[in-house]
A and B are shown apart, each in its own frame.
Chain A
Amino acid sequence: MMHPPRLSLPSPFNKGVLILQHRLLKQTARLNNENQRFKIMHASGFYFDGKSSKKQSARLVFTGTAHWFVVSDEGDSLTTPESIAEARVSSRLGNTPTLIRFSQGGIFESVDHEALDAMLLPHRPRVNWAHRLESRLRYVVAGLLVTAAVVFCLIYYGIPAGAKAVAFALPEETTRVIGRGTLQLLDKEFLSQSKIDEQEQQRLRQRLLAFIPAINNIPVSVEFRNAPMIGANAFALPSGTIVFTDQLIFLAENDEDLLAIYGHEVGHVSHRHAMRQLLQASTLAIAVALFTGDLTSTSSLIAAAPVLLIQSGYSREFEREADLFALHTLQSNHISPKHFSTMLRKISASHQEENDKPAPDAKNAPEDHEGSDKVRWQTYLSTHPDTEERIKMFDEAR
């Protein structure tokens, strides 16, 4: 008698009595809730039968028992009532229409978001969670900050750390192949046979290799090349081969000058900078390409510029590491660090002079310092004040 099924009672009188009893028994809060549920709600929109592209304007009507159905403007019901809790509803996305798919295949489309939310949210409180994040400024700002921080950390710590780990894990065979390939490419494009006579080459080679024959299990080898296009420079290849240009040899007044430069280059070999630079550049290029890949209207320009800018930052860091290595090596061998600062000054001055002469395109140049075209324009951007600092470090060292 206390809890009979309310709506299946025989007479209106009985029904009235029962409702009265309920009102006496139930709490006010529960009642208010009931009243709200019985309020008639509807949303206007369009109906598609899911079989053809026929479109008709229609209304979605709330039945009062957590169900809804679609009626046409003429008042015919187009779907059977279906449970809201189990409905296939597209989550809200900006101002785009919401779509409700009925089990018979019919689809109701509406932009009446307010009415839809009033019907939907009591039964499906979590359906629009992503929209809630997307439409509130504070979440967007928080997302922006976290994203920026993560991207920054990836670029400044993640990629260099990854490249370092991979560079040290790579088998010797791989680095040798890459080193040989790079030297062949350089020989073809920028370098020619050294003009220094064989005997002097041999003497210098022996002197340098006696100074440091190998580092971290990488045997070092020394090559001399004439490079009018690159100018005074030396560079370390991934394989441990160090190339001196004739122009650099001519700048040196004594063997100690060359030993200082050699120390710097061995520093690059020891830290596997060439390999790391290669890995970092390719990782960056891939990341940028993935990021902008679906934006067909952008071009490879987008991919190239940030890679170049970030690369210049990386190479500055590498120069510093190689400088420190050179400094320690010179100090422990009781050679004055001033030999290095003198050479830096001379190299810098020689390139300053040469600036009047244009440099050729020096793409694909390996990791090196203040030499090729790429590095030269970097000099204006970022490394130039650094040269002063680097010179100072060696001048002030004892």
Chain B
Amino acid sequence: MLNSSNTSSDKNADVQNAHHALSLLDDPVGGHQKENDQTTSLPPVAEVRDLSFQFNGTGAEFFKIWIVNVFLSIITLGIYSAWAKVRTQRYFYANTTLDGSSFEYLADPIKILKGRCIAFGLLLLYTLLGRSSPVLFMVCALVLLAFTPWAVRQSLAFRARYSAWRGVRFHFNGTVKGAVNTYIFWWAAASFFGFLLPAFLRKQMQYVVNNMRFGDVDFKNDVETFPYYKPFLKMLALVLPVFIVGAVLAGSLGRETAAIFFPVLVALIFFLASVYIRMSLTNLRFDNATLGEHTFHCRYELKSYFWLVLTNTLGVLFTLGLFYPFAKVRQAQYAAEHMSVTAVGHLDEFIDRQQEDLSATGGEVGDLFDIDVGF
């Protein structure tokens, strides 16, 4: 219904009917107990609510899950890692709630294990063939490049297919052709002409978001190209003067101090810039994305996000990695706190589409070759 192209009056009638039919089942936000007395009065048509995401996991709890995962993966020589992945994903999905309902990760570890075996075999073949002669190496690299769009598509479809909320699954209907267009042509263009990078990132975001659907309703993010250039331009405008001033200052301080001062300055600027770009890309991806009539908001802020990244980085460094599960939980908490949905009416009307099972190979191949296509 949210997906229909009805006139607005038809739509309102539909919403009203749906409210009438479903009002008995309408759940109070976040509550477990239902208040039956209130069902006699109909809620106003298309009531607008601001719903925030919530993350309920804790670092201490995830630490235990993580360490058991690592331990079992080691003693099973990596076989358990497929189960470990599912448990980790499930932990973060199930602890994230929207409108009182949590998300669900449904992938079967056996499928992930099969996918990992195939990916590992391919990698082995690639290294062995690549070693033997330069010509074969080139052939392998080309085959791998041609194979990447398929793997990206497959991995997105796999993840969507096994993600659900209130029993309704996500679905990814991007084509391999679209993936080739984005991840080969646009990627090549952006690698040759650096100034096309923001445009490529926008294309990539659109391939992921605009092909995603929840139940029978499409996600949409129609952000223009310019907003993607804005953070890069801002960054240049800020970084260049600081860099030049720093260089001049370092020059006047004499070689001795400059040798310490300048690398530190460069590292700091690089760190700040990468955090700023990552933050902007996250906001651009989710903010103002729509799902039917519902609108997403994503407002990461530089100061708080920078603090999060800095403390997570230092935490992981100074605990030899033991802070890692806490860092992951803090990151999920931050994401949930800074994202929300403006919902129109209630969220009961998404219809699940039955889909054929996908093999996990694409998903795992995508993971192994570290192609960041997260949604």
**Which listed segment binds A: B185-193, B219-227, B348-356?**
B348-356
Task: For chain B, give the interface size range.
Answer: 35 or more
| B350/A298 in contact, CB under 8 A | no
B237 at interface, CB cutoff 8 A: no
Given known A-B contacts A52-B348, A93-B90, A143-B67, A57 and B32 have beta carbons under 8 A apart: yes
Of listed A46, A296, A297, residue having the most chain B CB within 10 A: A297
Residue contact A298 to B316, C-beta cutoff 8 Å? yes
Q: Which residues of A contact B331 (CB under 8 A)?
A: 295-297
Q: Does A256 contact B (CB under 8 A)?
A: no
Contact of A96 among B91, B259, B347 (CB under 8 A): B91
A94-B61, A292-B316, A358-B256 known; A298 vs B68 contact (CB < 8 Å): no
A361 at the interface (CB under 8 A from B): yes
Asked if B22 is at the interface of the complex by the 8 Å CB criterion, the answer is: yes
Pair A297/B309 contact, Cβ less than 8 Å: yes
In the assembled complex, how far is the CB of residue A338 from the closest CB belonging to chain B, in whole angstroms?
A: 35
Contact in complex: A295, B327 (CB < 8 Å): yes
In the assembled complex, which residues on chain A have CB atoms less than 8 Å from the CB atom of B36? 73
* Pairwise interchain contact B167-A48, C-beta atoms closer than 8 A: yes
A94 and B101: CB pair below 8 A? no
Shortest CB–CB separation between residue B278 and chain A, in angstroms?
A: 7
Closest to A44 in B: B32
Contact flags A76-106 to B (C-beta < 8 A → 1, else 0): 0000000000000010011111010000011
- Which 9 pairs between the two chains have the least Cβ-Cβ distance? A358-B259, A48-B167, A143-B71, A96-B94, A53-B350, A53-B166, A54-B348, A358-B255, A107-B167
Interface residues of B in 62-85 (CB under 8 A from A): 62-65, 67-68, 70-72, 74-75, 83
Interface majority SS (helix, strand, loop, mixed), chain B: helix
Q: A156 on the interface (CB 8 Å rule)?
A: no
Residues on B with C-beta less than 8 A from A99 are 104
Q: What is the interface size of chain A, counting residues whose CB is below 8 A from a CB of the partner?
A: 56
Tell me whether B68 and A143 are in contact (CB under 8 A): yes
CB-CB under 8 A from A185, the residues of chain B are: none
CB contact between A97 and one of B71, B102, B374 (< 8 Å): that residue:
B102
Inter-subunit contact A49/B90 (CB<8 Å): no
Interface string of B232-245 (1 = CB under 8 A from A): 00000000000000
Residues from chain A with Cβ under 8 Å of B67 in the complex? 140, 143-144, 147
Contact between B258 and A298 (Cβ–Cβ < 8 Å)?
no
How many Å lie between the Cα of A51 and that of B168 in the bound state?
7
Cβ contact within 8 Å between B349 and A52: yes
Q: 18 extra interchain contacts, Cβ-Cβ under 8 A, other than A48-B166, A358-B256?
A: A52-B349, A52-B352, A53-B215, A57-B32, A57-B33, A94-B57, A99-B104, A139-B68, A143-B72, A144-B71, A293-B370, A295-B316, A295-B327, A295-B331, A296-B278, A299-B313, A358-B260, A359-B259
Contact B256 A147 (CB under 8 A): no
- Known contacts A94-B57, A295-B312, A359-B259: does B27 contact A146 (CB below 8 Å)? no
Cβ-based interface call for B172 (8 A)? no
Set of chain A residues within 8 Å of B168, measured between Cβ atoms: 48, 52-53
Tell me the B residues contacting A by CB distance below 8 Å.
22, 25, 27, 32-34, 36, 56-57, 61-65, 67-68, 70-72, 74-75, 83, 87, 90-91, 94-95, 100-102, 104, 165-168, 215, 255-256, 258-260, 263, 267, 271, 274-275, 278, 308-309, 312-313, 316-317, 320-321, 324, 327-328, 331, 347-352, 370, 372, 374
Say whether B91 contacts A93, CB under 8 Å: yes
Residue-wise interface mask of A (186-230) relative to B, using a CB-CB cutoff of 8 A (1 in contact, 0 not) = 000000000000000000000000000000000000000000000
Establish whether residues B351 and A52, one from each chain, have CB atoms under 8 Å apart when the complex forms. yes
Known: A53-B347, A53-B348, A55-B25. A146 touches B75 (CB 8 A): yes
Once A53-B349, A295-B312 are accepted as A-B contacts, the answer to whether A140 and B64 lie under 8 Å apart by CB is yes
CB contact between B27 and one of A56, A297, A298 (< 8 Å): that residue: A56
Q: Given A93-B87, A134-B65, A143-B67, do A54 and B25 touch, yes or no (CB 8 Å)?
A: yes
- Determine how close the nearest CB of chain B comes to the CB of A106; give it in whole angstroms: 8
Interchain CB contact under 8 A, B313 and A54:
no
Chain A, range 271-315, C-beta contacts under 8 Å to B: 289, 291-299, 301-302, 305-306
Chain B residue contacts of A133, Cβ below 8 A: 68, 72
A55 touches B32 (CB 8 A): no
